């Protein structure tokens, strides 16, 4: 079997197979994240990114290679989540730029496209590191160029390119000491290799199918619930608070406790309404109305694999029905109410000078951000990285000339930057905040009379002046910084390093703060998560007040998932 060119018809199969293989292996990829924290989500982010590309392909006419590659580029660009997802979208973007004028591509075209893909991805990262997905992508492009000079058969060519990519992946621990100590290869590089494996399988006629094509039926009796259609004609779209009707099944990795199930329900209620949640020992069936269905999916992924995912835009459905009724009742020769349209135009308020978008997970944190005048809060953060499109949607909702975006997570900054590059009618300024305390500190220094550039500088200086730490738990056994860590251990992180490991949350937290505090500081702020009781937080406050009598101690109920405490010292 041989193949000399790839055209639109087989390109679609190749991408679908690659996406399926990446999705099928996402949990394994997640496990490769170096830090054993519960937000290791490289596989999830890359899967969600590539699946938006798949969705875009399904919407396109599929008549040309141009249409296919453009769909992959545009879909992944807007759906990119996390640093790994953004880099993957940039690889697709570079590939598209190289082949967009081609009707079909041969090995030489593919090699040049791989080179362009690698170059585009490298440019997207401010300080690229070797031993990452970027290294694997460049190795693939180098090998492709070498082979294209002597190999015309795309199948033989692709097998050799993949083999070299796998070899480079296995060498990533030699390039990054942190990978070597943890005994893993780079997770993003693994994700890229899994995608390419699926592509090569399709070229050989062995297309990879998605797992869970035939999910297990629910064995427990379901509660019969009447779900009203979204296109009722006695309501307007303004009455629809949450746009997307979201349904899915979580196939549980293990039986879920009553407490975890309740926390899952509380989270879904925090991002939407009309929740129906039915669970048994093997799965959970979910129905929820939300503005961010991806966040519901991502939280579900922390409990198991997903199946029967379905999203309906209720405003769109309602709007289509209203328009159908309008056109049915509209008589030829009649004019629309131009004066009414003019009145609507007059009601548009002029844009404000400044607006603010922030990412946060936790009801308490969201309330704090509202108090400091954040205009729009995207629900997400640790293990729930919003997509580029989520950030774009938030920006579109704010009527302001200059809009500051606070990612509040190092894994969201690239997606925020990507969103900023796509907005042309507003000045989007990404403030490189890596935590909620950084965002709050920056907002306190904001001056409405200063220029956008001056404010950014002052905000950045304010963020650099605070010390930030967090307390969470280990999700797997590993060894880091000379510390042996077991699954379930309590861990304290500071300056991107694991500083404390133990079995008592309060003890680990106090030891962390002891390392952060010094004579130059005067304020300790603690934000406690959903797994910490009010009484437990108060007990910690009393101990801090006794140990640091010269410090101001502030304690807030953040309500964040997964992390027991966020801590800032300044």
35-39 average pLDDT score: 70
Whether 448 shows a pLDDT value over 80: the answer reads yes
pLDDT band at 326; cut points 50, 70, 90:
very low
Residue 99's pLDDT is 93
Low-confidence winner among 77-86, 174-183, 332-341, 348-357 (lowest mean pLDDT): 332-341
What is the average pLDDT score of the chain?
Answer: 84
What is the DSSP code string of 379-430? E-BTTBPPBHHHHHHHHHT--EEEEEEE--STTTHHHHHHHHHH--SSEEEE
Cβ-contact 446, 421 below 8 angstroms = no
Confidence of residue 159 (pLDDT cuts 50, 70, 90): very high
3-class secondary structure, 186: coil
3-state secondary structure of 225: coil
pLDDT band for position 78 (cuts 50, 70, 90): confident
Residue 324 has pLDDT above 50, yes or no: no
Q: Report whether pLDDT(538) > 90.
A: yes
H or E element in which residue 547 lies:
helix 534-547
The DSSP secondary-structure symbol of 310 reads E
Q: Which of 120-134, 287-301, 364-378, 520-534 comes out lowest in average pLDDT?
A: 287-301
Confidence of residue 278 (pLDDT cuts 50, 70, 90): low
Looking at residue 40, what is its pLDDT? Answer: 63
Q: How far apart are CA 561 and CA 37, in angstroms?
A: 12
How many angstroms separate the CA atoms of 358 and 370, rounded?
10
Report yes or no on whether pTM surpasses 0.85: no
pLDDT, tens digit (0-9, with 9 covering 90-100), for 168-222: 999 999 999 888 888 889 999 999 999 999 999 999 999 999 886 433 322 222 2
Q: Which is more confident, 246 or 567?
A: 567
Q: How far apart are CA 389 and CA 422, in angstroms?
A: 10
Mean pLDDT of 79-100: 92
pLDDT band at 493 (very low <50, low <70, confident <90, very high): very high
188-212: burial string, b at 16+ Cβ within 10 Å, e else: bbbbbbbbbbbbbbbbeeebbeeee
Considering only CA atoms, which of 514, 507, 528 is closest in space to residue 569? 514
For residue 565, is pLDDT > 90? yes
Reading the block at residue 204, the tokens are 């050989």
Among residues 346, 353, 413, the alpha carbon closest in space to that of 386 is found at 413
- Taking 80 as the threshold, does the pLDDT of residue 340 lie above it? no
In this structure, of 310-319, 421-430, 449-458, 485-494, the range with the lowest mean pLDDT score is 310-319
- Residues 137, 164: Cα–Cα separation, whole Å: 11
Highest mean pLDDT (candidates 267-271, 293-297, 425-429, 480-484) = 425-429
Distance separating alpha carbons of residues 319 and 313, to the nearest angstrom: 10
- Residue-wise pLDDT for 237-259, tens only, equals 444 577 888 888 888 877 888 88
> What pLDDT shows up at residue 281?
66
163 contact partners, CB below 8 Å, separation of at least 6: none
């Amino acid at each position: 079997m041989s193949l000399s060119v790839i055209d639109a018809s087989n390109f679609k199969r190749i991408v679908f197979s690659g996406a399926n293989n990446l999705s099928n292996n996402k949990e394994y990829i997640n496990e490769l994240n170096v830090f054993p924290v519960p937000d290791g989500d490289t596989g999830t982010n890359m899967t969600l990114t590539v699946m938006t590309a798949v969705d875009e392909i399904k919407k396109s006419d599929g008549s040309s290679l141009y249409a296919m590659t453009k769909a992959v580029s545009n879909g992944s660009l807007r759906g990119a989540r996390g640093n790994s997802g953004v880099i993957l979208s940039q690889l697709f973007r570079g590939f598209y730029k190289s082949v967009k004028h081609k009707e079909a591509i041969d090995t030489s075209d593919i090699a040049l496209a791989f080179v362009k893909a690698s170059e585009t991805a490298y440019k997207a990262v401010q300080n690229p590191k070797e031993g990452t997905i970027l290294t694997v992508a460049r190795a693939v492009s180098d090998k492709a160029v070498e082979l294209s000079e002597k190999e015309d058969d795309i199948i033989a060519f692709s097998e050799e390119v993949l083999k070299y990519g796998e070899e480079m992946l296995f060498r990533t621990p030699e390039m990054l000491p942190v990978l070597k100590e943890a005994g893993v290869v780079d997770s993003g590089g693994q994700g890229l290799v899994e995608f390419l494996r699926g592509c090569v399988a399709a070229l050989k006629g062995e297309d990879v199918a998605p797992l869970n094509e035939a999910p297990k039926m629910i064995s427990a009796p379901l509660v019969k619930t009447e779900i009203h259609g979204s296109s009722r004609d006695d309501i307007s779209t303004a009455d629809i608070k949450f746009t997307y009707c979201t349904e899915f099944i979580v196939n549980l990795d293990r039986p879920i406790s009553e407490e975890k199930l309740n926390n899952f329900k509380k989270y879904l209620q925090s991002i939407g309404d009309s929740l129906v949640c039915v669970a048994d020992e093997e799965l959970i069936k979910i129905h929820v109305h939300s503005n961010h269905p991806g966040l519901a999916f991502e939280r579900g992924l922390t409990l198991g694999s997903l199946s029967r995912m379905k999203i309906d835009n209720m405003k769109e459905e309602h709007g289509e029905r209203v328009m159908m009724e309008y056109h049915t009742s509209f008589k030829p020769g009649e004019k629309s109410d131009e004066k009414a349209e003019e009145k609507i135009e007059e009601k548009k308020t002029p844009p404000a000078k400044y607006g603010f978008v922030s990412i946060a997970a936790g009801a308490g944190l969201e309330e704090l951000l509202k108090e400091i005048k954040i205009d729009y809060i995207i629900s997400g953060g640790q293990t729930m990285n919003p997509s580029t499109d989520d950030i774009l949607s938030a920006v579109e909702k704010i009527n302001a000339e200059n809009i500051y975006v606070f990612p509040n997570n190092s894994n969201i900054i690239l997606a925020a930057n990507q969103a900023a590059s796509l907005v042309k009618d507003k000045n989007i300024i990404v403030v490189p905040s890596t935590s909620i305390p950084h965002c709050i500190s920056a907002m306190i220094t904001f001056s409405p009379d200063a220029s956008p550039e001056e404010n950014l500088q002052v905000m950045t200086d304010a963020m650099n002046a605070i010390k930030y730490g967090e307390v969470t738990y280990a999700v797997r056994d590993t060894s880091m910084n000379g510390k042996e860590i077991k699954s379930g251990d309590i861990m304290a992180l500071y300056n991107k390093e694991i500083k404390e490991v133990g079995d008592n949350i309060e003890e680990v937290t106090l030891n962390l703060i002891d390392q952060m505090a010094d004579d130059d500081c005067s304020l300790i702020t603690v934000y406690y998560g959903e797994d910490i009781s009010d009484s437990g937080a108060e007990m910690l406050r009393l101990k801090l007040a006794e140990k640091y009598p010269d410090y101001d101690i502030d304690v807030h109920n953040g309500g964040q998932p997964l992390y027991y405490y966020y801590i800032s010292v300044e």
